[in-house]
């Protein structure tokens, strides 16, 4: 059971570089989310999607972009990386609008 798969698990970026965090789920879930976790701050929503072709901003979308061309994939793009984007990123999915979240293992990103 793969569930939600995130890659890469670790990445170091230089300021100004760009990268994409990949997220794929094999549970046919419509609802997918990207969160960032900073120490002592809980999880903050970056972007979310309620189905293929539909995305929307969360609480902290600046500096990020997403796409949802298929039900399975929900990549997060970081453009012009900044030190403030150093964080742990979690992708999650749910099979119903109000159900529990299934999380990936997280991606630790450091911007130097």
Partner 1 sequence: AQKITQTQPGMFVQEKEAVTLDCTYDTSDPSYGLFWYKQPSSGEMIFLIYQGSYDQQNATEGRYSLNFQKARKSANLVISASQLGDSAMYFCAMREGGGSYIPTFGRGTSLIVHP
67 versus 102: smaller Cβ distance to partner 1: 102
Cβ atoms of 44 and 38 closer than 8 Å: yes
- Tell me, residue by residue from 39 to 78, as one string, x for binding to partner 1 by CB under 8 A and - for no binding: -xxxx-x--x---------x--------------------
| Residue 34 touching partner 1 (CB under 8 A) | no
Q: What are phi and psi of 85, to 5 degrees?
A: -90, 0
What tokens appear for 29 in the block? 């879930």
Which region, judged by CB under 8 A, interacts with partner 1, from 16-24, 61-69, 71-79, 90-98?
A: 90-98
């Amino acid at each position: 059971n793969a569930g939600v798969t995130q890659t890469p698990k670790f990445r170091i970026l230089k300021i100004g570089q760009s990268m994409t965090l990949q997220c794929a789920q094999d549970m046919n879930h419509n609802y997918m989310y990207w969160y960032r976790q900073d120490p002592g701050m809980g999880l903050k929503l970056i972007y979310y999607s309620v189905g293929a072709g539909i995305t929307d901003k969360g609480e902290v979308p600046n500096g990020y972009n997403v796409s949802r061309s298929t039900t399975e994939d929900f990549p997060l793009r970081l453009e012009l990386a900044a030190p403030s984007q150093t964080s742990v990123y979690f992708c999650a999915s749910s099979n119903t609008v109000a159900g529990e979240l299934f999380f990936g293992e997280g991606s630790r990103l450091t911007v130097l």
